[in-house]
Amino acid sequence: MWQGLVHAMLARFVRVGCLEVTFPDGTMRRYGRDASDPLCLHLRDTALLRALVRDPEMALGEGYMDGRLTIGGDRLHDFLTLVLRNRQAGGLPAWARGADVIRFALRDWVQRNTPGKARMNVAHHYDLSNDLYRRFLDTDMQYSCAYFARPDMTLEQAQAAKKAHIAAKLLLQPDMHVLDIGCGWGGMAITLARDYGVRVTAVTLSANQLELGRARVAQAGLSDRVDLRLMDYRKLTGPYDRIVSIGMFEHVGLPQYQTYFGKLRDLLTPDGVALIHTIGRVDRPHRPSGWLTRYIFPGGYVPSLAEVAGPVERSGLWLTDLEVWRLHYARTLAEWLKRFEAELDAVRATHDERFIRMWRYYLTACQATFEVDRQGVFQVQLARRADAVPLTRDYIARLSATGPVAAQ
């Protein structure tokens, strides 16, 4: 029964590319018209077939993690690209589309992200191990999209370019007070204090990030200029001359958007400027990935531009600049994956094979999504006054290229 249902589902689904599937009883079937470079998929037990019918996305991820779904040559990137392209082509069966509608309707409940829930969600992902993140991130441990301003950039250079690009949009002057919401391991806070001469208050909900971040601040000799705190952004009091938030907005949760942007407005000085750097969809709103929500980012959500625009408008803030990065995150993820694979012997010392396959699936699925789906990165510049930033964008490229001139 289940094999027949999976066969019918795949016969409808695979319209782009070619997939050769070996079922648990040894039967091999081919799906799709282009047989020039087929992907070979092996489904190893009936329980996996049942799961694929009930929740295809979850079953694919869990099947790969558990080794019950294997791909010839371990061509995971090619396989996930094929899945995404066929999903775009509209091949999902009616019951799977119906399940998507239900999950979309439940997103507000899933993403309610109260302060207590937000703390648990952050701990799930960011408190895994600082050593794990050191294995695949750049030397500054930037865990967000890099900016490949030139195609020949290394990951380290592209992450430095990202920080310079953001700093340019903040229009920093020495001794300004900057708030960093979701500061990670302190890399941006250290850069701004060291290179631009500002004071930084930085907050995170990750105990691991806080411990390492404070150690890095002390090592850089910046303890008098950088204050790292374990604190929810909703508990902050201002004012701040500048606010920066990199890769944190994805964890805010859709029901909290109005609170978030209202808080930004309250925290900014009258001539203050904020820069929000977040993954975003250049498409209509979409349900969050069930697999990513369960295993990687509980409470996470990638917003559409329309979902961001409404709360910004109601907050009373000016949207003074909007930039959309295309494909930069795909390359960033490709670099992370390459470094992760190169460090597998070290990773195995602290994590089992299921974790390794889960992490590989996460990085590869995200890379493929940024390559073929309508997903990019938004940089949203906000201010309380229309004249808080220059009236043309020329200054961004100039300040990005010249660097921390304000501190000279």
Angle at 30 between CA 24 and CA 36, to 5 degrees: 135
User: Looking at 18, 40, 145, 366, which residue is catalytic?
Assistant: 366
Q: Is the peptide bond before 288 cis (omega within 30 degrees of 0)?
A: no
**Tokens 């937000």 found at:** 118
366 in active site: yes
**Tokens 């690209």 found at:** 81
Sign, Cα dihedral of 74, 76, 81, 83? positive
Q: What values do phi and psi take at 161, rounded to 5?
A: -65, -35
Q: Which residues are tagged catalytic?
A: 366
